[in-house]
Each structure stands twice: as structure tokens, then as C-alpha cells.
Amino acid sequence: MNNKTHIPDGFLSPSVFITAFVITIIFWAISFKKTKLTDKQVPIMGLLTALFFAAMMMNYPIVGGTTAHLLGGASLGLILGPLAGCISVTIILVLQALLFGDGGLTTLGANVLNMGIIGIFVPCALFLLMNKAVKGTGKKLYTVIFVSAFVGDVLAAIAAGTELGLSQPTFQYGLSVAVPAMAINHSIIGAAEGVVTMILIGTLLKLRPDVLEQSPILKRLSIFQNRKEVEE
Amino acid sequence: MAATNKKTTQKTIVIGLTVALIFVLIGVFVLSYSMETLDKQAEQLGSEEKPLFNPPFADYNIPELDNVWGGLIVGIMGTLLLFVVSLTVARLLRKKKS
């Protein structure tokens, strides 16, 4: 049984993994400095981190005998905010690399860049843009969530393909093979990510709207904005 | 009010961790096989990963067991460990009350 799901040591060239580390370290510094969680967000961060570690253990069959797993970036970013989400994914990836040999030490920066930065900041930015345009409620809101999560996953996969493609000859395939292979195959898991993100946020909207109201991203939802205006 | 909040939080944690453990069960018994797209291409060309160290629970298993039960134990312990570690980090990142 092979349970590896992230880029391992030996697949990326030094120039690629060092560049990825530099970008990631900048995001780590900002995330740890700027993240200020509320009392309600603290247990939710613990819970969602554990939940998406467990979700990553499920490998969905896609095409050509290959599999893919959920990233969780969209859910973590939208619910906790992108900075706390980045820290959450970092915790998962560090422990996966150190304890389970999933991913690598030299490739940790690249894996965090793909799943913890691109996979989080892209859905958050898209959500803010689209939510502002459509003032998302009901079906529109869920469409915005789905599209944000889907695009985030596909772009994260394209980033991984680009890093591997630029690592020739360390990784034998170039950009023309690595990028389309990752993008096409991961668009299927991107759809699953979209559905899971919709279900998770929909459930929290019903059961714990107080937690979503404290999210730096979801607090901009019209239902929370309207409530705020009424209170004022 | 504070007691109600605590109860709601505890309920959320219990429900969330139960869902996580269901994910582990599905991950171990149903969707365990993993062959990433690029791993497959790399394998076809004879490219291999070069790990820098031997992790204690390689491939999400216990070396002496190396079966589904080992995977289940590691999955459950790993999920609980992630919960504790991330909760500790989250507490350190808590907004200071003025």
C-alpha cells in the first residue's frame, strides 16, 4: 500500500525548492505575526486541522489508475481566514512529513506553497470578489463557494505541476507533461473539494453561524452584514 | 451564558472529531490505495523519491504491524495528535484581551 500524497524529497531541483521555501517563509512570517484568533475560533482551528488531516487519508480514484485527495484549503481559508488557514495546513504538512514520510523536508516549502498558500489564498480572494459581485445568498452563495474551492484546487495542482516541470532533470517530465497531467486529474478532486466546502460551510451556517461571523472572509456575507446594520 | 458556550463548543468538537474518525475508517478500509498522478509518471520512468530520514510511521502504518489495523491505529492517533497540536498553536495565536 502506497499512501504518499505530497511531493517527496528528491523530486524537486534545489533552485525550485529553495525559491518555494523563500516565498513560504514570507507567508509564514506574516501569518504567525498577524493571526489573532477569537475564543470561538481556537477550538474550531484545532478541529478543522484534525478533520482535514483525516480527510487527506482518503484517496479518491481519478483517472488512469491514479488517485487524489482533498486539500481542505478552501474550507480552512474561508472559515478561519487565510492566515490562520495557512498555519493550519502547515501543521498538517509538517507532521505528515516528520511522522509519516508523506511529503518531504526539502519539499515542505513547495507543498505549503501549493496547498497552504495557493490552495487557500486563491479561494479566499475569489470568494471575496464573487461575493461582492453577486451579494451571495442561497444558491448563489453555494455557487460562489464551489467555484472558489474548485479553482483553488486546480491552481494548487498546476503550481505543483509547474514546480515538478521546472525541476528537470531531477524530475524527468517537463512542463508540457506535468502541468496538464496535474490540472486535468485534479479538476475532478477540485469538484469534490467544492462539494465538501459547500457542505461544511452550509452545516456551520445552520449550527454555528457565530463561528462563521468571526471569520475575516465569511463575516462579509450579506446575512451577517444585514444583522450588523440592524444592530446599529 | 459562558456555560452554554462551553457546552456548544464541546458538542461541536465531539461531532467534528467523530466525522474525522469516520474519514479515517473510510481512508483505511475503503479509499486507502494511493497513486498520485505524478508518482505514476515518475515510477514509469524509474524516478524514485530520496527520503532524508526514516519516519517512525512510514506510509501511515506501524512498522511491526503494517496492516489495516496498524493503519487504523496510526490514523486515529494521528488525528488526535493533530487536534492537540493545532489547538495548542491556536491558543498561542489567541487575541489578547485588553
ipTM comes to 0.89
Tell me whether residues A95 and B71 touch, CB distance under 8 A: no
Q: Which residue range is the domain that position B74 belongs to?
A: 60-98
A183 touches chain B (CB under 8 A): no
Distance from CA of A125 to the nearest CA of B (A): 23
- Taking Cα atoms as reference points, which of A60, A87, A64, A103 lies closest to residue A195? A60
Residue B69 C-alpha, separation from nearest chain A C-alpha, in angstroms = 13
pLDDT (0 to 100) of residue A14: 93
Given this model, what pLDDT does residue A112 score?
Answer: 97
pLDDT at B46 over 60: no
What pLDDT does residue A79 have? 97
Which pLDDT score is estimated for A222? Answer: 79
**Local confidence band at B33 (pLDDT 50, 70, 90 cut-offs):** low
Residue B79 lies in a domain: yes
In the block, cell 459547500 appears at A198
Amino acid (one-letter) located at B11: K
pLDDT for B43 equals 65
Q: Is residue B88 part of a domain?
A: yes
3-state secondary structure of A232: coil
Is A41:A88 a contact under the CB 8 Å cutoff?
Answer: no
Question: CB-based contact (8 Å) between A68 and chain B?
Answer: yes
| Among B12, B55, B82, beta carbon nearest to A49 | B82
CATH 1.10.1760.20 fits A14-225, yes or no: yes
Residues of chain A scoring pLDDT < 70: 1-5, 62-66, 136, 172, 228-232
Min Cα separation B79/chain A (Å): 5
User: CB of A29 within 8 Å of any CB in chain B?
Assistant: no
Q: Is residue B68 part of a domain?
A: yes
The answer to whether A19 and A174 have CB atoms below 8 angstroms apart is no
- Number of A to B CB contacts under 8 A, please give it: 217
- What pLDDT sits at residue A64? 63
Mean pLDDT to the nearest integer, B54-74:
85
Please give the residue that has the higher pLDDT: either B44 or B85: B85
Question: For residue B3, is it within any domain?
Answer: no
Q: In terms of Cα–Cα distance, which of A152, A160, A146, A147 is closest to A201?
A: A146
3-state secondary structure of B63: coil
Going from the C-alpha of A158 to that of each of A16, A63, A102, A121, A143, the distances in angstroms are: 15, 17, 20, 15, 22
Residue B90, in any domain of the structure? yes
Q: Look at residue B86 and tell me if it is in a domain.
A: yes
| Structural domain includes residue B34 | no
Contact A9 B37 (CB under 8 A): no
Amino acid at A88: S
CB-based contact B60 A44, cutoff 8 Å: no
A16 touches chain B (CB under 8 A): no
Count the domains in chain B. Answer: 1
| Residue bearing the bigger pLDDT, A200 or B54 | A200
Residue B93 belongs to some domain of the structure: yes
> Within the 9-38 window of chain B, which residues sit less than 8 Å (CB to CB) from chain A?
9, 12-13, 16-17, 19-21, 23-24, 26-28, 30-38
pLDDT of residue A68: 78
